[in-house]
Structure 1
Amino acid sequence: MRITRRVFTTVLSGALVVPLTGFNPARASDKVIRIGYQKYGTLVLLKGKGLLEEKLETIGYAVEWTEFPAGPQLLEALNVGAVDFGSTGETPPIFAQAAGAPLVYVAHEPPAPRGEAILVPKDSAIQTVADLKGKTVALNKGSNVHYLLVKALEEAGLAYSDVKTAFLPPADGRAAFEQGAVDAWVIWDPFQAAAEVAIEARTLRNGEGIVPNHQFYLSARTFVDENGAALDVVVEAIGEIDTWTKANTAAAAAELSPSVGIPEDVLAIALERQSYGVKAIDEAVVKQQQAIADVFHELGLIPSSISIADAVRKGGA
């Protein structure tokens, strides 16, 4: 079923949509690229530096930024034309494409399998993924960690149906986890790092060896067709931020901590687990995404099979 504007409005009511403080409105002659970002990731680093505004101004574009709590909400906004570009993990674009969203994969970051994990309380009796049988696991439906849970259960000899799932966004998932309302929480950085530092949550299984955990950059098909030069500039700027952050992780954490509201020590842990080096979508990545889509279709999590290759940008940076 196609995502409707009514659904999008409902989702945004709980999203972290922030005012564009310090942003100079676009001149009437400017084109605008509206970028959706999350609390963490390369785009929030790019926003903090202000590099993209400088680069796009030279070709007559301005930038507007909107924050979302997770990838599914961001892609719903992309689907109804509220944003033009954004980044998510592996799973949200699969759910969005299956729902009819006209999205296009523009680029990706290398795998970062340590940047997501199944967490349990520090004193939990659960010691292995197999111990999750019959237990309740919190996760954000359709996010990158949805696939991590599926593959971790498979590795442990369990079916997806062997656990009870509580679909909660990150803030609600953290609350349920701390209150003992769920037995485990599948979450990504920086929420993962924050739980490790603040409440000493224990990692039951991260993505190493079972999921790649790519970060994807996505756009709407119409925007891609009409604004290729601007997208090339965005990807170039992401590459510059990647290079700087990889070489200056501690400095990046210190610089960004106040603006993103994440303690410096937590941000440093998350940045160390992030991957850097933006790349065009290649055949290997398409195959990995297709495998995820096929698994979700087999489990009945998406209503129909999809072709990832049909949603990949042709040419460009």
Structure 2
Amino acid sequence: MLFASRPRSRRVAASLLTLVVGATALAGCVSRESDTVSAAAPSTVDPSRLSSVTLDVGDQKGGTQALLEASGQLTGTPYRVSFSTFTSGPPQVEAATAGRIDFAVTGNTPPIFGAAANARIKVVSAYTNDASGDQILVPKTSTARSVADLRGKRIAFGKGSSAHGHLLLQLTKAGLTPADVTLVPLQPADALTAFTAGQVDAWAIWDPFTALAQQQTGARTLTTAQGVANGYGFGIASQQALDDPAKNTALADLVSRLAKASAWAQANPEEWSAKYSAAVKIDPVAGEQAQRRSLRPAIPLDQTVIDSEQKLYDAFVAAKQIPAGKPFSDFVDTRFDATVKAATR
């Protein structure tokens, strides 16, 4: 089995902009005629016919590739895997819609923005944790002690990312709206620079960047997403790949391997955190902290998960961050659910 890593990072300018998100947010990038009703899965093919198949997989820092390699789950695949690196989930959704990647794992919010944009993707697998690694950080010298104290402050976050969803839920919980703060859309590297330089007052972010900021800057946790956000992650697949019998067969195998890899990491936390830290070139202390709270084992893509995502979708609509659209369930395809269940027994 051969695989390659092809960097395709996207970074936004580090200027401080007030976010204006309307119907054109992600839609302007990815809207297509969407297959909003799951068609019957195509017939699978014999694994011996997959030698000419390459799955293009979107990845993020310390994500899918590192986990599959560390667990040995990339060994013996009858197809090739080519990884592309992205800064966050929204560009992965865009790339999947355009057919540039076949699969990626994202947080809980990118698929919602994809659904609002009528993206040609399907959610095909689910992962969970307690969301404690998704945090809103403030500088160690900040006087803020609650989210309510952020009224009128500048908050960095990744537009359309899980941090966006977490931030919206925390503002709502505190009785605030996005209009009560200055939202500064920045990708993680730019946000870290702005946060360190004092150009923003708070930063909504996820691991491993949470752990890195805490270690490097002494950032203080204002609040975590635990008990507020659902903590889910999702495997998204392009409709184009799902409609192709060979790629559909390869995707089923990859989703199974990823579920087994997550179970291995959960059972071997010390070995995984060491390999993870080496793979992403971060201090082992930060790597261990990030993985202790942010590893997501695979779970069934059931109605509880779908309903929870619909509530988050509705919260974004109510806040006028995205337009109302088709139900989130229209962008869910459970064809690999039995495969995930078998892999995690």
User: Under a length normalisation based on structure 1, what TM-score does the superposition of the two structures give?
Assistant: 0.87
- Structure 1 counterpart of 2:119, from 87, 101, 108: 101
Aligned mates of 1:29, 1:315 — CA distance in 2? 23
1:171-215 deviation per Cα after TM superposition (whole angstroms, max 9, x unaligned): 010011011000000000000011111111100010111111211
How do 1:71-150 residues align onto structure 2 when only pairs under 5 Å count? 71-150=89-168
Q: Quick one: distance in 2 between partners of 1:101 and 1:164?
A: 28
Q: 1:228 deviation in Å?
A: 2.9
**Is the CA contact (8 Å cut-off) linking 1:293 and 1:305 kept in structure 2?**
no
Residue in structure 1 matched with residue 272 of structure 2 by the alignment: 252
Partner of 1:159: 177
Unaligned runs of 5+ in 2: 1-23, 31-48, 340-345
Question: After the TM superposition, which parts of structure 1 deviate over 6 Å for at least 4 consecutive aligned residues?
Answer: none
Alignment of 1:164-313 (within 5 A): 164-226=182-244, 227-313=247-333
Question: Which residue type is aligned with residue 32 of structure 1?
Answer: T
- Deviation digits for residues 271-314 of structure 1 (CA, Å, limit 9, x no counterpart): 10024431231101111111111111222211232311111113
Q: TM-score, normalised by structure 2?
A: 0.80
Q: Deviations over 1:236-261 (max 9, x none)?
A: 11122112211221211222322212
Deviation at 1:160, TM superposition (A): 2.2
Q: Compared with structure 1, are the counterparts of its residues 115 and 73 closer, same or farther at alpha carbon in structure 2 (3 Å cutoff)?
A: same
Structural RMSD (CA) = 1.9
Deviation at 1:49, TM superposition (A): 4.6
Does 1:40 pair with 2:62? Answer: yes
Alignment partners' CA distance in 1, 2:159 and 2:75: 33
Relative distance call for 1:214 and 1:132 in structure 2 (3 A) is same
- Between the two structures, name the one with larger relative contact order (CA 8 Å, sep ≥ 6): 2
Instruction: Select the residue among 304, 308, 314 that pairs with 2:334.
Output: 314
Change (3 A) 1:154 1:305: same
* Cα pair distance change 1:99/1:28, threshold 3 Å: same
Give per-residue Cα distances to partners, 1:13-60, cap 9 Å, x unaligned: xxxxxxxxxxxxxx9951111100100334531145552352x22xxx
Give the deviation of 1:233 after TM superposition: 1.0
Opposite residue 117 of structure 2, the aligned amino acid is: A
Q: Which residue, 26, 31, 37 being the options, matches 2:53? A: 31
Q: How far apart are the structure 1 equivalents of 2:295 and 2:282?
A: 19
Distance 1:315 1:169 in 2: 33
Percentage of identical aligned residues: 35
Higher helix fraction (1 or 2):
1
Q: Distance in 1 between matches of 2:55 and 2:253?
A: 11
Structure 1, 82-91 or 277-286: larger mean CA deviation: 277-286
